[in-house]
């Protein structure tokens, strides 16, 4: 496929389609989002959420390194008990609502909601790394760069690459995340081979890569049931 400058068929876009978001059509062709957009990397999302909450409401306070240990609901609201994981201290928070966005780990089971459906469909392996790709990219428009390489096993097998900033969000991005798809429990998966695989896919055998973290998230097709507890 050549280097990143030639990662499009014949030097042109290999695919273009329309996607709707927020009621407005968005044109995407190796351009899932504008390059200045936030990414889904966990640390940056957490910071973004904290900044958003602080700006939008003076009543909001974001706590990091805390966990929900228990909660109790009555006719007028919910009393939650939170634990500071650094100090071990616990305190109560009173609210009108409690949002259980925890993938059914705590809130769902406590109110009798189960998750039903197939799990362990795909193991998405995300590698967060630092590398200088500025000399090898000639298009600053895309945020998500999809690779379709017959040697890589198709779209998800070949991988997708996302800039992580933190200073630049174009070809000069200091950090990146590469996503690869594997079968859950794949006996051929070897974390030590990820960096060579990235170099091979990008056709940059001498690329200097510093890995910060390798993480996994499992693709599922599940539904919370019953919908009303």
pLDDT score at 218? 87
Q: How many helices (H) and strands (E) does the chain have?
A: 4, 12
User: Would you say the pTM of this structure is higher than 0.75?
Assistant: no
**The CA-based dihedral angle spanning residues 165, 167, 171, 172, taken in that order and rounded to the nearest 10 degrees:** -130
Structural domains of the chain sorted by starting position, each given as residue range(s) with its CATH number in brackets: 61-98 (no CATH), 103-229 (3.30.9.10)
pLDDT score at 153? 63
Residue labelled with tokens 């959420």: 49
- Across the beta sheet with 77-84, the strand order is 66-74, 77-84, 90-95
**The CA-based dihedral angle spanning residues 49, 55, 61, 66, taken in that order and rounded to the nearest 10 degrees:** 20
Residues of the chain where predicted confidence (pLDDT) is lower than 70: 1-59, 150-156, 227-229
| Residue 18 tokens, joined | 């329309």
């Amino acid at each position: 496929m050549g280097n990143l400058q030639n990662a499009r068929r014949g030097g042109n876009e290999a695919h273009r389609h329309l996607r709707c978001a927020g009621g407005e059509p968005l044109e995407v062709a190796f351009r899932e989002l504008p390059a200045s957009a936030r990414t889904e990397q966990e640390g940056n999302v957490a910071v973004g959420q904290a900044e958003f909450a602080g700006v939008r409401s003076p009543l909001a306070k974001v706590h990091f390194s805390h966990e929900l240990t228990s909660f109790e609901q009555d006719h007028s609201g919910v009393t939650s008990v939170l634990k500071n994981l650094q100090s071990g201290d616990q305190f109560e928070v009173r609210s009108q609502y409690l949002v259980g966005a925890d993938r059914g780990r705590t809130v769902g089971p406590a109110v009798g909601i189960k998750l039903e459906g197939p799990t362990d469909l795909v193991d998405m392996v995300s590698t967060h790394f630092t590398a200088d790709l500025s000399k090898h990219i000639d298009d600053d428009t895309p945020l998500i760069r999809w690779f379709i390489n017959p040697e890589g096993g198709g779209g998800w097998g070949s991988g997708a690459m996302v800039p992580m900033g933190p200073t630049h969000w174009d070809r000069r991005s200091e950090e990146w995340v590469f996503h690869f798809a594997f079968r859950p429990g794949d006996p051929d998966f070897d974390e030590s081979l990820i960096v060579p695989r990235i170099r091979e896919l990008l056709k940059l055998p001498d690329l200097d890569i510093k890995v910060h973290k390798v993480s996994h998230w499992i693709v599922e097709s599940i539904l919370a049931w019953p919908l009303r507890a």
